[in-house]
Amino acid sequence: MKFTINRPAFISQLNNVLRAISSKTTIPILTGLKMVVDKERIILTGSNSDITIESVINANNPDYDLTVEDPGAIVLPARFFSEIVKKLPDKQVTIEVTSGFQADITSGTAKFQINGQDAENFPHLPEVETDKTITLPNDVLQEVIRQTVIAVSKQESRPILAGIHITLHDGLLTAVATDSHRLAQRKVALKDVDNGIDFDVIIPGKSMNELSGMISDVDEDVLVQVTENQILFIFGNTHFYSRLLEGNYPETSQLIPDTADTTVELDAGSFLASIERASLLSHESRNDVVKLTLKPSENLVRISSDSPDIGTVEEEVATTALDGNDLEISFNPNYMKDALRSFGQTTVKISFTSPLRPFTLVPTEDGENFVHLITPVRTF
Amino acid sequence: MKFTINRPAFISQLNNVLRAISSKTTIPILTGLKMVVDKERIILTGSNSDITIESVINANNPDYDLTVEDPGAIVLPARFFSEIVKKLPDKQVTIEVTSGFQADITSGTAKFQINGQDAENFPHLPEVETDKTITLPNDVLQEVIRQTVIAVSKQESRPILAGIHITLHDGLLTAVATDSHRLAQRKVALKDVDNGIDFDVIIPGKSMNELSGMISDVDEDVLVQVTENQILFIFGNTHFYSRLLEGNYPETSQLIPDTADTTVELDAGSFLASIERASLLSHESRNDVVKLTLKPSENLVRISSDSPDIGTVEEEVATTALDGNDLEISFNPNYMKDALRSFGQTTVKISFTSPLRPFTLVPTEDGENFVHLITPVRTF
């Protein structure tokens, strides 16, 4: 195996694949990066137990200035190999495997020789063979991930809640996540989807976070293919595989209340700033709770919190609408912060029923397609 | 006590004083920020066992838009107070102590009430009364600190080596630091210093690092006053006090060899890059050592290292001059990296005597005023 390549362009592809590679793994060869070289291309592969990323460098792409002298394959220690390539002096780097599994890495007057492993020992890629392919606009996929992944459970007690439940039915994509304290649900009506294509999968939240970071770097739309235990996202020259979680996701549709006794509309950004201020104090008290007092009768909304050691905070909140019964309700400010951030700069409508029942946040425009639900905290 | 002030301008002064305040301290009141308010000014004070920083906000400085309604003094929990002020909604903030030691902080519709302490209980400032005042150009002081502080000892076994030894004699300022593995010595001939002013002090390296960060933000020259156990640096509206270390600093002048058997001149920046590459491998081996092979007879300088698990590296180093006997010498690459970084982009001359004797680095131009010494590592 021997090839010479433009170093900065090679580094960008290495960085892609490195996202899948962990230095902590129970399968030692997965700390390695697999390189398969033939006359037409180099395929880089990195994997952990959840995701596998494959990057294809085509010889005919002039950006890479790629010259393959000898085909071949090897697995090299991923972290070292990439650190070395990043620090090399020259614009080009040559990688050569002469005998056994040792690779010579040369650039300018610097020469490294590092120990690799047989590429035959690298786990084989999951096979994704399906004719179920849909295309998702890049920005829509990013938004769906951003708005739901925050509600994914970080607890390991119910592994199924570590995933985002995504279904496609009659062209309507629905994504739901809940950690049992809060829930986020996003719906998108897809255009140009073959009505015969339906699926119902649970994708690990971590995989989706990683995917989101990668697709935000490219402009292209994302092809999605689903099989029984894998989902494959294709964009640019990258194949991103994630395993699916097995099991039944809890039924969530009845959790969202459809009536309200008190409603308020306010600017997400300035309400977020108020919550952040109040949480400076609540974080210092044992139960980390912020209280919201709604008095439609006096057209008043007030947020407050206290910490016996530090002091108290109280702030009047500006609203654009306020209706229904007077109400006092307490909640964890972190849940509210996460929710408000997922809305971005927009007006939200918050609907309450009682101090102990979950309340919902929806954008005041287009309230059908995105709903975030938070369970309050009992303080009495 | 009651005053109203421009919030962003107030924050910049808070940040200054916060540098001296640690949340881990054995004296609880030192987690607090002291504010003393009179009609002419506010004085903010923060302190730990080593340094004390005092910031003066003058009422006649229009940047602060300061209105003092009532004089007074209080100590407030520094971290909270600054986080609160930073997150407040309005351009102005009003701070008022009504009864006892509770402070009301109001800005826009947000109102915090936080518990403070009696300012009388805050330790008194060190008294620095002296007529020994010298002026140091800001950039010179920054460079002296940057070039010597790297050699300050991080070990606690010899507390005196945690300081920089600074002497002024006949207008010549000399700064020396050593951790017994390496040594850095910088000399500066000061202009316009009264010849009667001499001093000999040991300043904690940590204090100097903190000072360096602060003076890099201002343009002004720095006034320095020395007493028996304190040094005071005055710049802008800031007074920076550091305690001095007590004891005798070891005699260091004989440690610097004045003869050499092998010398090489090279570009600090590109040699640093070579060392960084070689250290990728050396860091993985137990004794973290890089080997330099100098062969003036063949006009060759080579750097190499290896790690049994990972592999080997070898690189030819470009030089601008190379003289003397052939030599192989090994050293800790971290010491070399620190030293080369302290030189910046310049040509350095490295002078060796034997594989086990310390070697020196000096700038090829102006080699009299800055010398860095490194002890090699025995590898045989």
Instruction: Name every chain A residue with its beta carbon within 8 A of the beta carbon of B87.
Output: 273, 276-277, 280
What is the average per-residue pLDDT within A118-140? 87
Residue at A251 is within a domain: no
Band of residue B130 on the pLDDT scale cut at 50, 70, 90 = confident
Give CA–CA dist A122/A311, Å, rounded. 58
Q: What domain count does chain B have?
A: 3
Do B109 and B139 fall within a single domain?
Answer: no
In this predicted structure, the answer to whether residue A128 has a pLDDT above a threshold of 80 is no
The answer to whether ipTM exceeds 0.90 is no
Do A161 and A230 fall within a single domain?
Answer: yes
Final residue of a structural domain among B65, B99, B121: B121
Residue A99 in contact with residue A136, Cβ under 8 Å? no
Residue B224 in contact with residue B134, Cβ under 8 Å? yes
Beta strand pairing status for A133-136 and B41-47?
unpaired
Residue at A250 is within a domain: no
Chain B interface, best mutation among A280, A307, A314, by max B CB count within 10 A: A280
Do B366 and B275 fall within a single domain?
Answer: yes
Do B260 and B292 fall within a single domain?
Answer: yes
What pLDDT sits at residue A309? 86
Do A111 and A156 fall within a single domain?
Answer: no
Residue at A249 is within a domain: no
The answer to whether B277 contacts A110, with C-beta atoms less than 8 Å apart, is: yes
Residue at B249 is within a domain: no
Percent helix, strand and coil across chain B, each to the nearest 5? 25, 40, 35
Residue at B380 is within a domain: no
Residue at B379 is within a domain: no
User: Where residue A344 sits, what CATH number does that domain have?
Assistant: 3.70.10.10
In this predicted structure, the answer to whether residue B98 has a pLDDT above a threshold of 90 is no
The arrangement of strands across the sheet holding B262-267 comes to: B199-204, B163-169, B172-178, B182-189, B370-374, B359-363, B347-352, B262-267, B321-324
Stretch among A79-88, B77-86, B185-194 having the lowest mean pLDDT:
B185-194
- DSSP structure string for A304-349: EEEETTTEEEEEE---SEEEES-EEEEE-HHHHHHHHHHH-SSEEE
Percentage with pLDDT > 70 across chain B:
99
Residue at A310 is within a domain: yes
What pLDDT sits at residue A264? 98
The answer to whether A102 contacts B274, with C-beta atoms less than 8 Å apart, is: no
User: Where residue B172 sits, what CATH number does that domain have?
Assistant: 3.10.150.10
What pLDDT sits at residue A14? 97
State both tokens at A106.
């040369």
What pLDDT sits at residue A308? 87
- Bridge partners of A105? A95, A112
What pLDDT sits at residue A247? 94
User: If you average pLDDT over every residue of chain A, what do you get?
Assistant: 94
pLDDT tens digits, B136-169:
999 999 999 999 999 999 988 899 999 999 999 9
Final residue of a structural domain among B91, B121, B151: B121
The answer to whether B277 contacts A311, with C-beta atoms less than 8 Å apart, is: no
Counted across chains A and B, CB pairs separated by less than 8 A come out at 84
What is the average per-residue pLDDT within B304-329? 95
Instruction: Name every chain A residue with its beta carbon within 8 A of the beta carbon of B111.
Output: 313-315
What pLDDT sits at residue B220? 92
Do B191 and B285 fall within a single domain?
Answer: no
pLDDT tens digits, B208-264:
999 999 999 888 999 999 988 899 999 999 999 999 999 999 999 899 998 999 999
What pLDDT sits at residue A127? 76
| Distance to chain B for A112, nearest Cα, Å | 4
Instruction: Name every chain A residue with its beta carbon within 8 A of the beta carbon of B84.
Output: 277, 280
Read off the DSSP letter of residue B83.
H
What is the average per-residue pLDDT within A317-335? 97
Instruction: Name every chain B residue with its beta carbon within 8 A of the beta carbon of A276.
Output: 87
Do B67 and B137 fall within a single domain?
Answer: no
In this predicted structure, the answer to whether residue B191 has a pLDDT above a threshold of 90 is no
What pLDDT sits at residue A367? 83
Domain of B41?
2-121
The answer to whether A277 contacts B77, with C-beta atoms less than 8 Å apart, is: no
Residue partners of B146: CB distance under 8 A and separation at least 6: B212, B342
Do B235 and B262 fall within a single domain?
Answer: no
The answer to whether B311 contacts A102, with C-beta atoms less than 8 Å apart, is: yes
Which of A320, A325, A333 is closest to A291 using CA atoms?
A333
Read off the DSSP letter of residue A12.
H
| Distance to chain A for B281, nearest Cα, Å | 8
Do B14 and B71 fall within a single domain?
Answer: yes
Helix (H, G, I), strand (E, B) or coil at A165: strand
What pLDDT sits at residue A284? 87
The answer to whether A112 contacts B274, with C-beta atoms less than 8 Å apart, is: no
Residue at A126 is within a domain: no
Band of residue B194 on the pLDDT scale cut at 50, 70, 90 = confident
**Tell me, what amino acid is at A234?**
I
pLDDT tens digits, A213-249:
999 988 899 999 998 889 999 999 999 999 999 999 9
Do A11 and A111 fall within a single domain?
Answer: yes
Residues B234, B239, B240, CA angle at the centre, nearest 5°?
Answer: 95
Residue A160 in contact with residue A184, Cβ under 8 Å? no
What pLDDT sits at residue B29? 94
